Structure 1
Amino acid sequence: MPESKSRWSKKTQFWLFLLAAIIVHQIPFVSIPFKWLESFFHEISHGLAALITGGKIVSIQLFPNGAGLCTTRGGFGFLISFMGYAGASIWGAIIFSIASVNKRLALIFSSAIIILLITCMLFWVRDLLTAVIVVVLLALLILPYKFKKLHYLQPLLQLTGMMVLLNSLYSPLHLFDGRAIGDGAALANMTFIPEIIWVALWMAIAVFAIFLLSKKSR
């Protein structure tokens, strides 16, 4: 009986967090930090793909509207371009999954994200605006540590993971701006596969990640 109750609780929590993420996404000022965080994971995914394939990160920029830019040198161009949107979906799913296990793992992973942001600040941030955005993200991640026994850390990290995943579902649609620039255009030029196919694939990855999380919650 306790096991059945626990499973029902996890299933209910999943749908509540998804609903909360959809609602928060519609609130202009409240949703901004989450868009910045999704942009950070998008850009750092480009950078990590460059590092893994023998390239290097030159700089990472984040903008107030939720856009970003990771400048890299060397590495496997196809994987670097592909991993931005795909990586953000993966990050979101991993954050939600790990935070859902228990408070201790949520604490460890939250600390790892803080270290990643600090590393980014020290090595790859070259402009004041990006530095301010990163500091805001650090403050938001550190804030739950101020509460007694970290009661709010786990649910806030779960909501953060779901928000990153949801933003990674919506953000590829911004590529349809008529300017033919960005990751989709870069992949279209490399492969001769239309940009719309890449956008559909990135959105499908996000939907599949949400599906896997819902299945795991059952």
Structure 2
Amino acid sequence: MAPSVLVNSGNILPGPHLHHLSRRELSVNHTQAITLGIIAVYVVVIALLWNLPYVRWVLWPFKMLVIAFHEFSHAITSVLTGGRISSITLDPHEGGVTHMRGGKQAFTLPAGYLGSSLIGALLTFCGFNIVASKIASFVLAACFLLTLWWARRDWWTIGTVLAAVGVLVAGWFIEHGEGLRFVVLFIGVMSSLYSVWDICDDLILRKVNSSDASVFAKRYGGSSQCWGVIWSLISLCFMVCGILAGLAAFKQSFEQMEKDSKGFIPTKI
């Protein structure tokens, strides 16, 4: 029986079953739909917690980590463009500061926001799958502990960051890592949108002048608000790419993911 492919003037046209396959690959299954819903909830919840007095302390350890991603991105870009790092300081009250010598500021200044957004997109991608989230959790735990090295050292900071590491560890033991997947997804969403919330907070709500965007505007022209909006749009594009990649790469159901997870450092309460 001839295959369902039509040939016309040298062009190969897909038959009906190939059209069906294409539609199926681009569809969103039940598990992915739930993940997308959770991402939407995270966006709303984090936006509220970011701005509400007192309640926003819940985000403290995760905000510390995202600030660390921001500063690490500055530092890595500086080194890659010929600079040297003098010091890194992290403080959720005042933000982070990276003291650099040399490097190309046209790249190092936007690298903080764009780098943390790219990391967030990768974590969001991993959050679509349990095994990928397990792998990402090792990197996150290391970054949390490195954060303590540069962070302002007081008992509150130490305690909350260690508690966040504890949340990562606890996630391993919930349905073979299903809980861990949602923790990784939460951090990914927060890091992806950090530039949006922080730029809005600094440049629109509080009109702070000492931001990366304002320094970039002074050196290379334009306004800090303009560059802030551009970087925020790029960050949103990174996040969308992370979500689309997760939808394309991880089609497993909850049951299939749990079965796969049992073969990679299996754990369950």
Instruction: Give the TM-score, by structure 2 length.
Output: 0.68
Q: 1:140 matched to which residue of 2? A: 164
Runs of 5+ consecutive residues of structure 1 not aligned to the other structure: none
Deviations 1:79-109 (A, max 9, x none): 1111111112111111110232x32221222
The CA deviation at 1:158 is 0.8
Name which one, 1 or 2, has greater alpha-carbon Rg: 2
Q: 1:182 matched to which residue of 2? A: 211
8 Å CA contact 2:78, 2:102 repeated in 1: yes
Alpha-carbon RMSD across the aligned residues, in angstroms, is: 2.9
Report the 3-state secondary structure (helix = DSSP H, G, I; strand = E; otherwise coil) of the residue aligned with 2:32: helix
Find the partner of 1:31 among 47, 50, 59. 59
Q: 1:18 matched to which residue of 2? A: 40
Judged with a 3 Å threshold, the aligned counterparts in structure 2 of structure 1 residues 66 and 40 are, in CA distance, closer, same or farther, namely: farther
Report the 3-state secondary structure (helix = DSSP H, G, I; strand = E; otherwise coil) of the residue aligned with 2:85: strand
Judged with a 3 Å threshold, the aligned counterparts in structure 2 of structure 1 residues 181 and 59 are, in CA distance, closer, same or farther, namely: same
8 Å CA contact 2:85, 2:101 repeated in 1: yes
Instruction: Give the TM-score, by structure 1 length.
Output: 0.82
Q: 1:193 matched to which residue of 2? A: 222
| Higher relative contact order structure (alpha carbons within 8 Å, sequence separation ≥ 6) | 1
The CA deviation at 1:3 is 7.4
Mean Cα deviation higher: 153-162 or 34-43: 34-43
Q: 2:84 matched to which residue of 1? A: 56
Runs of 5+ consecutive residues of structure 2 not aligned to the other structure: 1-20, 50-55, 249-269
- Is the aligned partner of 1:159 residue 2:186? yes
Report the 3-state secondary structure (helix = DSSP H, G, I; strand = E; otherwise coil) of the residue aligned with 2:193: helix
- Is the aligned partner of 1:83 residue 2:111? yes
Q: Take 1:165 and 1:135, find their aligned partners in 2: how far apart are those partners?
A: 25
Q: 1:128 matched to which residue of 2? A: 153
8 Å CA contact 1:55, 1:72 repeated in 2: yes
Report the 3-state secondary structure (helix = DSSP H, G, I; strand = E; otherwise coil) of the residue aligned with 1:128: coil
Query: Going by fraction, where is helix more abundant, 1 or 2?
Result: 1
Judged with a 3 Å threshold, the aligned counterparts in structure 2 of structure 1 residues 59 and 135 are, in CA distance, closer, same or farther, namely: farther
